Amino acid sequence: MAEFLRIYEENPNPKEIEKVVAVLKKGGLIIYPTDTVYGLGCDINNIKALERVARIKQVKLEKSNFSFVCHDLSNISDYVKQIDTAVFKILKRALPGPYTFILPGSKSLPNPFKKRKTVGIRVPNNNIALEIVKRLGNPIISTSIYDEDAVLEYSTDPELILEKWDNLVDLVIDGGYGGNEASTIIDLSEQEPVIVRVGKGSLEIF
């Protein structure tokens, strides 16, 4: 049975955030709000937790397209190769925000992702997500939670999310109703930005 924890996005309670971080440090899986849709996440450094997420999503961990949710741009530099000024300016303009940026991965990627040439980076504009990552001290791996409902692609009601995911994860955060539009994905790993998926977030800044 997953714990159900109400956290307010405007001013997240530090004690509640610490509870979430404790779950992550023990290898737990959480469902948490972002500035787009609710996400499934775990500590990037916990291999067993990563494998659990991969099993749930029915993918091989090494070939997964999980995003790294970071606290800020200084966090990002730990996992991507040195980026040029033009790319940095784009990131600075867009983040935190509803974008996933594909960037060239560095040699310091965690073991399961060592062979990756690129990595998807997120810095969501959501205080709950940002505080969790900040207090954890490293990124969390994240993937959107899809819904089988043909009308609603993403679950938005935390109580319904709990019903569905109760036996699969350790904690579900109720951060209010989520969105049902995923992030816009921009590939910045080559010379020119390439829009991979149009989602939430204006394209005008590119």
Count each helix (H run) and each strand (E run) in the chain, helices first.
6, 10
Average pLDDT, the chain: 91
So what CATH class is 3-197? alpha beta
Predicted confidence (pLDDT) at residue 151 exceeds the cutoff of 80: no
pLDDT band at 116 (very low <50, low <70, confident <90, very high): confident
**Cβ distance 66 to 141 under 8 Å?**
yes
Where do the structural domains in the chain lie, given as residue ranges? 3-197
Q: What is the pLDDT of residue 19?
A: 98
Split at pLDDT 50, 70, 90, the class of 148 is low
pLDDT of 115 above 90: no
Residue spans of alpha helices (H) in 77-179: 85-94, 127-136, 158-165
Strand partners, 67: 120, 142
Q: Is the pLDDT of residue 152 over 60?
A: no
Q: What confidence category does residue 154 fall into, taking pLDDT thresholds of 50, 70 and 90?
A: low
List, for residues 36-75, the tens digit of each pLDDT value. 999 999 999 999 999 999 999 999 998 888 999 999 988 7
Task: Grade residue 180 by pLDDT with cuts at 50, 70 and 90.
Answer: confident
Q: What is the DSSP pairing of strand 184-187 with strand 99-104?
A: parallel
- The pair phi, psi for residue 197, each rounded to 5°, is -145, 130
75 and 94 Cβ atoms separated by less than 8 Å: no
pLDDT exceeds cutoff 60 at 150:
no
| Mean pLDDT of the 176-196 span | 90
